[in-house]
Chains A and B, each alone.
Chain A
């Protein structure tokens, strides 16, 4: 049996009956004697609209109002109007003369939940009470969920700000290199990240990573990975050794098999030498100053977090002054348009080839704007991260 007669806390259902007819109170108490005795129902009585409002001021937990229409001082229709201005969660049922369609319509327009006609059929009244209470319960429950939802949304907003604030937003530009990056999460919080840091006077480390999955679990893993990466990288180890150590820690007790793809590069800002290692990440593009565009050779190993103690290898190349490395996550190439077409690697390649400007900030902006044109308003399904780093040449 559905429990509609007592509410969750075991409190009785509270019904306010408003009628100037003195007999009604007696009839109701007699009819519902059992339920009143057992504590399922509790009736309150008022003899006109004014009295009803007074009772409601004192008893804000009333679930239902059953009101007559014609009463002295304040009638039932006016009471309905007043109820809609009160901050109470209840439903009103009106009692009208048989066939009085005009008043019934007015009452329904003013928010009455249902109506009964005189003379009151008590079985009908009982059913109406049960139905009304069920509605009030559902309403309260949904408002409660809405409250919780709003609260969760607020917490997510905070999480988003925290996540944003741990990614660096001040982009160094020295005479010898410049860097720019941006991450746009698909949901409120995301699993992509970028980071960069000076390892010593000459070496500048940068990382772009993508955690598997999305939303809150990915965001947690992102925060762990990013911190682990930074603390390991700033030891100044070779990129392959850094990957090896980060992987070993992430692979411990990783029951959910979450993983991270990452590209880690270290630029010698004096000489333009770039050492890098990738862990199952999309291959970055090298945009040469002379106009050539090529993918980096792949060196590294499997995604981080799955296979413990697996080796990673690193590789070193020489950047020429003006060369830019473009690192991104698959949110770029796997961005959908409204017809479910992917942006694709081919399109990214074409776009990068068409660009002559090698400034990291303008390349990143260009890619984001093309992806957004492609998406044409379709919801972003994955986090998107782009990072550009340009070697400008030796200082004189």
Chain B
């Protein structure tokens, strides 16, 4: 799967594209883990603008990456989540758990300490 990534201050922004399912979840996990290590980022922002759909395996890996950021003492959030994925988050009620933002740069700016 294609995962765009960049760092703004101490925030790693990753943008997975397409389907995040059981076959792509391990790769996404390692991409984030490696990038956080390399860039010394503390916070994580997952930009979902190009993410079309997500399965339970995908949600699981999102939760794991959020945990990685928190273990580094950072914060984690999602931004630009499209309607089908919002629906999945609504059903699972994980929408109460994730921190959502509409705007990518504003979200990244929150995480600069």
- Contact surface of A with B, Cβ cutoff 8 Å: 210-215, 255-259, 261, 279-283, 300-303, 306-307, 330, 334, 382
Which A residues are CB-close (under 8 A) to B93? 279-280, 300-303
Instruction: Report the minimal beta-carbon distance from A185 to chain B, rounded to whole angstroms.
Output: 14
A306 B55 Cβ-Cβ under 8 A: no
Q: A212-B57, A259-B63 are in contact. List 18 more A-B contacts (CB 8 A).
A: A210-B56, A211-B56, A212-B56, A212-B60, A213-B22, A213-B25, A213-B56, A256-B60, A258-B60, A259-B56, A261-B92, A280-B93, A282-B91, A283-B91, A302-B93, A302-B97, A306-B63, A382-B55
13 sample A-B contacts, Cβ–Cβ < 8 Å, listed by A number: A212-B60, A213-B25, A213-B56, A256-B60, A257-B63, A259-B59, A259-B92, A261-B91, A261-B92, A280-B93, A300-B93, A303-B94, A330-B56
* Bound-complex Cα distance A211 to B55 (A): 11
* Bound-complex Cα distance A381 to B68 (A): 28
A306 B97 Cβ-Cβ under 8 A: yes
* Bound-complex Cα distance A280 to B22 (A): 19
**At the interface, yes or no: B67 with Cβ under 8 Å from chain A?**
yes
**At the interface, yes or no: B64 with Cβ under 8 Å from chain A?**
yes
Q: How many A-B residue pairs have CB under 8 A?
A: 56
- Chain B window 96-110, contacts with chain A (Cβ cutoff 8 Å), 1 for yes, 0 for no: 110000000000000
Which A residues are CB-close (under 8 A) to B61? 257
Size of the B side of the interface (Cβ < 8 Å), in residues, is: 17
Which B residues are CB-close (under 8 A) to A382? 55
* The residue from B60, B67, B91, B97 contacting A213, defined by CB atoms under 8 A apart: B60
Q: A213-B22, A214-B22, A302-B97 are in contact. Are A280 and B91 (CB under 8 A)?
A: yes
Instruction: Report the minimal beta-carbon distance from A181 to chain B, rounded to whole angstroms.
Output: 20
Which A residues are CB-close (under 8 A) to B67? 255, 257
Which A residues are CB-close (under 8 A) to B97? 302, 306-307
Instruction: Report the minimal beta-carbon distance from B23 to chain A, rounded to whole angstroms.
Output: 10
B56 A302 Cβ-Cβ under 8 A: no
Q: A214-B22, A382-B55 are in contact. Are A302 and B60 (CB under 8 A)?
A: no
Within 8 A of A (CB), among B67-113: 67, 91-94, 96-97
B91 A302 Cβ-Cβ under 8 A: no
* Bound-complex Cα distance A281 to B60 (A): 15
Which B residues are CB-close (under 8 A) to A283? 91
Nearest B-chain residue to A261, judged by Cβ: B92
* The residue from B25, B63, B64, B92 contacting A280, defined by CB atoms under 8 A apart: B92
Which B residues are CB-close (under 8 A) to A300? 93
A214 B57 Cβ-Cβ under 8 A: yes
* Bound-complex Cα distance A306 to B96 (A): 11
Which B residues are CB-close (under 8 A) to A256? 60, 64
* Bound-complex Cα distance A214 to B67 (A): 21
Which A residues are CB-close (under 8 A) to B64? 256-257
* Bound-complex Cα distance A306 to B55 (A): 16
Instruction: Report the minimal beta-carbon distance from B72 to chain A, rounded to whole angstroms.
Output: 15
- Chain B window 6-24, contacts with chain A (Cβ cutoff 8 Å), 1 for yes, 0 for no: 0000000000000000100
Closest 10 CB pairs of A and B: A257-B63, A280-B92, A212-B56, A302-B93, A212-B60, A213-B57, A257-B64, A303-B92, A280-B93, A257-B60
Instruction: Report the minimal beta-carbon distance from B75 to chain A, rounded to whole angstroms.
Output: 16
Which A residues are CB-close (under 8 A) to B56? 210-213, 259, 261, 330
Instruction: Report the minimal beta-carbon distance from A34 to chain B, rounded to whole angstroms.
Output: 47
Most chain B Cβ neighbours within 10 Å, of A211, A255, A280, A307: A280
Which B residues are CB-close (under 8 A) to A279? 93
* Bound-complex Cα distance A300 to B91 (A): 11
Most chain B Cβ neighbours within 10 Å, of A210, A213, A282: A213
* The residue from A214, A258, A261, A302 contacting B96, defined by CB atoms under 8 A apart: A302
B94 A212 Cβ-Cβ under 8 A: no
Which A residues are CB-close (under 8 A) to B63? 257, 259, 306
